[in-house]
């Protein structure tokens, strides 16, 4: 045995002993599992040793171990994960919303990493970076064909340090000019409330995008300011759409803005007794009487569902939109050696009525590893404070459901091919200013300019009709009918193809809205998108209707006899 192999063998034995020792306290509390734990740790350590010694190619111990860890955790649920030392900073950013950097979103457009949105008022915006700028180099390092994760690491850094971006910027004639932009990094704090304001003279609006530190304070401050500046305010729209959640404590704090002190908001129950807790509001509310409409959709998850579920169960607000995601699992982090962490599901959470809205049962998976959904027949009914019936096991059902119109395949193709993004970049280069965000509208001529822009662009897509024709063609070939009807099928294909050429006209209203949204963001950033959306947002329209009719609002929150 070589000294190297002897050392490796010693290290592996030491690793096994450490792992076993770490498991012993738990093992002794679960006597029946002690033998299984020690046996499987022994097997794992021995297998690892054999792989490292005899596998034909050189293996990287850290990579091999990471694969093993990820495979083990993936068998549980998608929220239990290992956080390596190199990932700690990203994890902290997710929980605090803070990082040192330039304050901009980037995306991959073809071969280029491209600025997709500089945050208004932050370093990138101050330095003059624009959405659509293509990044060629960062501090002299070529980044063509790189991925966004790699670029984010180069852009982040200590506040006060400079980073030089060599970019290509679109000119009014469509050409591109190469230039350097020096950005001084800042401490970036992504706001939980990116916008609040008045939709009309009587209705306030608060957009809550995350639940990182101070989410409750930001909502509290926003409502206080709206009330102070608008004495005529009679209702609030709290927009939680697309909010993936975050800190459980901040969910309680957000609910506390509308629910008075000492009210139960959420309880948790886990295998360990320490996780059997009830979380109540701790402070006086800003306003316990103002009517509230909470907007949710499929992207509203976790902490968003705690807020929506608690306000629904306490009959404190009307929920509007589409069914929420259905994440009723609570994660905590456990410290591991070498500055690593384990994010682990430790409990399920329950709204004040006692329901858990977790949609998938990860303890029961099919042969493909897909978690089981709770069938409707097994869902349990619970009652709100006023006696309204609500159900568990499938997210939060809105009190007022609003149909979510699916995006056309044409629009999806134009977005995925970046044609709308790129056209907005060109439009911004040609037009230094536009109307106010809420008043902006593309003219018919400008829409035709976009159609002309697409003339030499590729954006192929298959319509539902084309897919059905293809299925029919396959079926007729399998059943030996194709020869008899092939001529008719060919004619049918041509008719659909000819009609498809008019899709830019048929879907004009949909595509124009998407275009207007992207263009407005180039001048007025995220705030502009929100202000423009008030003109056509179906969920907002439904909220205004409910909040504008106090009788209907109260009716929705009581049991109808």
Nearest CA-CA partner of 307 in 384, 264, 252, 353: 252
Phi, psi angle pair for 45, to nearest 5° = -65, -40
One-character DSSP codes across 266-286: EEEEESSGGG-EEEE--S--S
CA distance 396 to 326: 7
CB proximity list for 177: less than 8 A, separation 6 or greater: 168, 169, 171
Query: Quick count: other Cβ atoms within 10 Å of Cβ 241?
Result: 21
CA distance 131 to 150: 19
* Helix/strand/coil for 340: strand
C-alpha Rg value of the chain to the nearest Å:
28
| 3-state SS track over 351-378 | CCCCCCCCCEEEEEECCCCCEEECCHHH
Q: Using DSSP, how many helices (H) and how many strands (E) does the chain show?
A: 18, 23
Token pair recorded at residue 365: 């998976």
Q: Any idea what the Cα angle at residue 159 is, between residues 154 and 160, rounded to 5°?
A: 105
Q: What's the sign of the alpha-carbon dihedral 479, 484, 490, 496? A: negative
Nearest CA-CA partner of 342 in 42, 79, 38, 19: 79
What are the DSSP E strand ranges found in 4-88? 81-83
* Helix/strand/coil for 509: helix
Nearest CA-CA partner of 105 in 129, 139, 86, 83: 129
Nearest CA-CA partner of 506 in 559, 451, 550: 451
* Helix/strand/coil for 39: helix
CB proximity list for 257: less than 8 A, separation 6 or greater: 216, 219, 220, 223, 285, 286, 287
- Bridge partners of residue 295, in order along the sequence: 239, 320
Token pair recorded at residue 266: 């959420």
Distance between alpha carbon 477 and the CA centroid of its chain, in Å?
A: 44
CB 285 within 8 Å of CB 255:
no
Catalytically active residues are 302, 313, 327
């Amino acid at each position: 045995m070589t000294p190297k192999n002897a050392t490796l063998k010693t290290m592996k034995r030491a690793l096994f002993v450490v792992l076993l020792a770490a498991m012993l306290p738990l093992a002794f509390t679960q006597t029946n599992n002690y033998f299984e734990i020690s046996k499987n740790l022994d097997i794992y350590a021995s297998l690892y040793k054999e792989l490292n010694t005899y596998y034909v190619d050189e293996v990287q111990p850290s990579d091999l171990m990471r694969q093993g860890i990820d495979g083990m955790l993936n068998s549980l649920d998608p929220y239990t994960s290992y956080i390596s030392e190199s990932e700690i900073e990203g994890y902290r950013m997710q929980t605090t919303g803070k990082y040192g950097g330039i304050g901009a979103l980037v995306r991959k457009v073809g071969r280029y990493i491209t600025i997709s949105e500089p945050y208004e008022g932050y370093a990138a915006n101050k330095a003059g970076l624009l959405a659509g700028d293509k990044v060629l180099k960062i501090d002299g390092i070529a980044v063509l064909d790189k991925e966004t994760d790699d670029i984010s690491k180069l852009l982040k850094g200590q506040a006060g340090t400079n980073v030089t971006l060599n970019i290509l910027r679109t000119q009014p004639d469509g050409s591109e000019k190469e230039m350097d932009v020096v950005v001084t990094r800042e401490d970036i704090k992504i706001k939980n409330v990116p916008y609040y304001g008045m939709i009309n003279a009587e209705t306030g609006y608060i957009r809550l995008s995350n639940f990182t530190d101070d989410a409750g304070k930001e909502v509290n401050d926003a409502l206080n300011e709206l009330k102070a500046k608008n004495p005529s305010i009679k209702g609030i729209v709290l927009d939680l759409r697309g909010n993936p959640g975050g800190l459980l404590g901040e969910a309680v704090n957000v609910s506390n803005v509308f629910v008075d002190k000492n009210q139960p908001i959420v309880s948790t129950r886990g295998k360990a007794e320490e996780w059997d807790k009830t979380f109540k509001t701790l402070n006086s509310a800003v306003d316990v009487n103002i009517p509230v409409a909470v907007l949710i959709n499929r992207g509203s998850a976790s902490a968003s569902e705690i807020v929506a579920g608690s306000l629904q169960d306490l009959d404190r607000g009307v929920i509007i939109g589409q069914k929420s995601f259905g994440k009723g699992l609570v994660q905590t982090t456990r410290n591991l050696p070498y500055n690593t962490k384990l994010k682990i599901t430790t409990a399920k959470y329950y709204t004040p009525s006692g329901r858990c809205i977790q949609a998938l049962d990860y303890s029961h998976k099919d042969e493909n590893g897909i978690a089981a959904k709770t069938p409707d027949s097994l869902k349990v009914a619970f009652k709100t404070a006023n006696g309204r019936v609500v159900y568990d096991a499938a997210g939060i059902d809105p009190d007022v459901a609003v149909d979510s119109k699916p995006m056309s395949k044409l629009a999806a193709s134009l977005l995925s091919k970046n044609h709308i993004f790129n056209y907005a970049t060109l439009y911004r280069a040609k037009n230094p200013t536009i109307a106010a965000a809420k008043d902006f509208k593309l003219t018919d001529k400008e829409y035709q300019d976009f159609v002309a822009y697409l003339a030499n662009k590729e954006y192929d897509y298959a319509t539902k009709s084309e897919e059905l024709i293809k299925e029919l063609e396959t079926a007729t070939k399998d059943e030996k009918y194709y020869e008899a009807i092939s001529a008719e099928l060919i004619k049918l294909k041509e008719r659909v193809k000819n009609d498809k050429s008019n899709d830019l006209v048929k879907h004009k209203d949909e595509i124009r809205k998407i275009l207007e949204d992207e263009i407005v963001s180039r001048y007025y950033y995220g705030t502009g998108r929100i202000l423009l959306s008030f003109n056509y947002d179906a969920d907002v329209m439904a909220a205004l209707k409910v909040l504008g009719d106090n009788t209907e609002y109260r009716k929705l929150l009581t049991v109808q006899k």
